[in-house]
Amino acid sequence: NAGVTQTPKFQVLKTGQSMTLQCAQDMNHNSMYWYRQDPGMGLRLIYYSASEGTTDKGEVPNGYNVSRLNKREFSLRLESAAPSQTSVYFCAVGRGGMYEQYFGPGTRLTVT
């Protein structure tokens, strides 16, 4: 029972390159989330998915796209990476609404 897994753990991109961050869960929860974490900014929501087939923007969606492939998987894509997207990215899952979210180990992304 791995909970929430994320790949890759680390990534370095050049400006303009694209990549997809993967998230998978075995907790059978409906809601999945992508956050970024920057120094002094706490965790900010990029996109979330309340159920398979639905996605919604969070606080900082610009420059990102998401895909809820099935109940287990939720991917985050950077089409043209920028240095401002250097951050640590966390995927989280939960029952939605007023319930806790469970976080993956994170992906540390550096864009040069």
Which residues of this protein are in contact with other proteins, per CB under 8 A?
4, 31, 33, 37-45, 48, 50, 58-59, 88, 90, 92, 94, 96-106, 108
Query: Nearer to other proteins by C-beta: 80 or 103?
Result: 103
How far apart CA 38 and CA 36 sit, in angstroms, is 7
Query: Nearer to other proteins by C-beta: 12 or 80?
Result: 12
Distances (CA, A) of 45 to 17, 35, 52, 112: 23, 4, 18, 23
DSSP code at position 85? G
Q: Provide, rounded to whole angstroms, the least separation between the CB of residue 46 and other proteins.
A: 11
Query: Nearer to other proteins by C-beta: 13 or 29?
Result: 29
How far apart CA 68 and CA 22 sit, in angstroms, is 10
